[in-house]
């Protein structure tokens, strides 16, 4: 059973199209800060087209910067502009919306709280859009001690977080404040993918979650399947499948993250059928 929504989401498809176009036709050196998506196979084929992955703009002089779907903090965009770089902005519109909402909350005088993973590039792009400092909480542990005292809190969420994390933070904040403004910035694609993975997980004996090991949304799908009490494995490619996983299992569910190409999901399906 292949879960609905497995494979590239709208934002990733859009970013890849822009990246391939820039790699083929961009001016000078064409770079991204970090891999364009969390999928090593796709990154390798983009490198063949001429898109170079760098970790900072320090050694880059001019050329083209492709901004990933996660977005970038404002100071990095300013740095690229100062270097005279052409910017191809492939920030996912849903991420852009989370950035804009955070800015709005800050302007309105709220203490901004971002629900998500502190070091995730998307979260850094959201907090990096602000003038001041936001508090990042992951929604899985009590947050009270992390928060500054404030009369007004404003909340946005990393686009790939599960709904429960946002809800947990909101219910913890509510009794602490007189005003709480929440923008549910979890993207539709994430919501649907998580729902359909959970639905599949409840119906099968074993779940396979396909996607880059460094892909936060893929890892999250894996966690959700396990939390649903299902045996589940996170794999990057079909080569990692072990026949003994399937002993005594009759039905297998397969899902993939937002940055997992359809052809990798198809290869896993074919390999499972062979086993």
Which of the residues are catalytic?
122
Helix (H), strand (E) counts: the chain: 9, 11
What tokens were used for 258?
């937002």
Identify residues 41-80 at the interface with ligand F3S (CB under 6 A).
69
Quick check: 157 binds ligand F3S (CB under 6 A)?
no
d(CA 8, CA 5): 8
Quick check: 258 binds ligand F3S (CB under 6 A)?
yes
Quick check: 115 binds ligand F3S (CB under 6 A)?
no
Tell me the closest approach of the beta carbon of residue 142 to ligand F3S, in angstroms: 27
Q: Which one of residues 18, 88, 92, 254 is an interface residue with ligand F3S (CB under 6 A)?
A: 92
Interaction mask 177-196, ligand F3S, x per CB under 6 A: ----------x-xx------
Q: Which one of residues 9, 209, 252, 264 is an interface residue with ligand F3S (CB under 6 A)?
A: 9
Quick check: 36 binds ligand F3S (CB under 6 A)?
no
Tell me the closest approach of the beta carbon of residue 220 to ligand F3S, in angstroms: 11
Quick check: 116 binds ligand F3S (CB under 6 A)?
no
Tell me the closest approach of the beta carbon of residue 98 to ligand F3S, in angstroms: 8
Q: Which stretch binds ligand F3S (CB under 6 A): 76-84, 91-99, 127-135, 231-239?
A: 91-99
d(CA 2, CA 265): 9
Q: Which helix (H) or strand (E) holds 252?
A: strand 252-256
Q: Quick one: CA torsion of 204, 193, 9, 168, rounded to 10 degrees? A: -140
Residue 33's SS3 state is strand
Tell me the closest approach of the beta carbon of residue 68 to ligand F3S, in angstroms: 9
d(CA 212, CA 235): 8
- Alpha-helix residue ranges (DSSP H) falling in the chain: 10-25, 40-49, 74-82, 93-107, 121-127, 163-173, 188-203, 216-227, 262-274
Where does this chain bind ligand F3S (CB under 6 A)? 9-12, 69, 92, 94-95, 159-160, 187, 189-190, 258
């Amino acid at each position: 059973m292949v879960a609905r929504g497995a494979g590239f989401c709208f934002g990733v498809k859009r970013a890849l199209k822009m990246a391939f176009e820039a790699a083929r036709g961009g001016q000078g050196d064409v770079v991204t800060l970090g891999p364009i998506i969390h999928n090593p196979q796709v990154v390798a084929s983009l490198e063949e087209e001429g898109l170079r992955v760098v970790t900072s703009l320090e050694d880059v002089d001019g050329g083209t910067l492709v901004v990933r779907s996660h977005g970038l903090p404002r100071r990095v965009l300013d740095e690229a502009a100062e270097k005279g770089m052409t910017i191809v902005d492939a920030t996912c519109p849903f991420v852009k919306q989370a950035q804009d909402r955070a800015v709005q909350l800050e302007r309105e005088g709220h203490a901004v709280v971002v629900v998500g993973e502190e070091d995730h590039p998307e979260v850094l792009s959201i907090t990096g859009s602000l003038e001041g400092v936001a508090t990042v909480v992951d929604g899985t542990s009590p947050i009270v001690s992390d928060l500054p005292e404030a009369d007004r809190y404003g909340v946005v969420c990393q686009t790939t977080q599960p709904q429960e994390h946002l809800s947990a933070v909101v219910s913890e904040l509510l009794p602490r404040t007189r005003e709480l403004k929440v923008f549910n910035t979890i993207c539709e694609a994430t919501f649907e993918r998580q729902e359909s993975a959970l639905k599949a997980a409840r119906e099968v004996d074993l779940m396979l979650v396909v996607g880059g090991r460094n892909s936060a949304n893929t890892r999250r799908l894996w966690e959700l399947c396990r939390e649903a009490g299902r045996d589940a494995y996170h794999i990057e490619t079909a080569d990692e499948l072990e026949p003994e996983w399937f002993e005594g299992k009759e039905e297998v569910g397969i899902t993939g993250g937002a940055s997992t190409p359809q052809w990798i999901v198809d290869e896993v399906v074919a390999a499972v059928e062979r086993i």
